Chain A
Amino acid sequence: RKEVEQDPGPFNVPEGATVAFNCTYSNSASQSFFWYRQDCRKEPKLLMSVYSSGNEDGRFTAQLNRASQYISLLIRDSKLSDSATYLCSTTSGTYKYIFGTGTRLKVLA
């Protein structure tokens, strides 16, 4: 079993829609969780950290479910510019970041 798993998608959604991605992790000792955004042929960029109580940044909401070992990312009012691949990541050990394969999102006009 992979340490971090994501549905590769693509998720095709119309502009203005709400879309959610989940990411499961296998290491129950994982302590930190993140969502990264990666545009085509670009490096991953940190979108947001995921806190135990859940957190929101504008149209983006991240949540953590430790009991079921998954994190989620909710995007409201999708924009064309949100089209990208979204990578989830956890830390295994102090600073070792493990990444999922990413979920592709296409927002359609």
Chain B
Amino acid sequence: SAVISQKPSRDICQRGTSLTIQCQVDSQVTMMFWYRQQPGQSLTLIATANQGSEATYESGFVIDKFPISRPNLTFSTLTVSNMSPEDSSIYLCSALTHATNEKLFFGSGTQLSVL
């Protein structure tokens, strides 16, 4: 399976600040995604990270709050902007790669706590 490196693994942030999460995949990537998992909840897709163009956001998520970059095929960042306690969650990078036969694999996640 592909190795997906995500960092930071956790952070505690102050209200109103922003945090950028990085995701690096070790093999040729078909698609990259960002999910959020709040306590006791299912994984919710935030957006599809598109290489060289704006990400495709799901209903309820907007670019101003969750700007995403994907400058090349194997790297993406998600920024959680102007954070509030409601943004406390686990954020997960995921990817489909040829190495994984186009099945979805996840990074180890970023545990974000906003005070």
Contacts and interface: CB of A to CB of B under 8 A. Distances in A.
Interface of A: 4, 34, 41-46, 49, 87, 89, 95-102
Contacts of B109: 42-43
Nearest to A2: B42
Nearest to A96: B45
B107 to A, nearest CB: 6
24 contacts: A34-B103, A34-B104, A41-B111, A42-B108, A42-B109, A43-B92, A43-B106, A43-B107, A43-B108, A43-B109, A45-B105, A46-B104, A46-B105, A49-B103, A87-B43, A89-B104, A95-B30, A95-B96, A96-B48, A97-B33, A97-B94, A98-B45, A99-B42, A100-B42
A21 to B, nearest CB: 15
A87 B48 CA distance: 21
A2 to B, nearest CB: 8
A102 B104 contact: no
B40 A44 contact: no
A46 to B, nearest CB: 6
Nearest to A99: B43
Given A46-B104, A95-B48, 17 more contacts: A4-B42, A43-B109, A44-B106, A46-B1, A46-B105, A87-B42, A95-B31, A95-B96, A95-B102, A96-B48, A97-B104, A98-B45, A99-B42, A99-B43, A100-B42, A101-B41, A101-B42
A102 B106 contact: no
Contacts, number: 45
A97 B42 contact: no
Nearest to A6: B42
B31 to A, nearest CB: 5
Nearest to B111: A41
Contacts of A102: 42
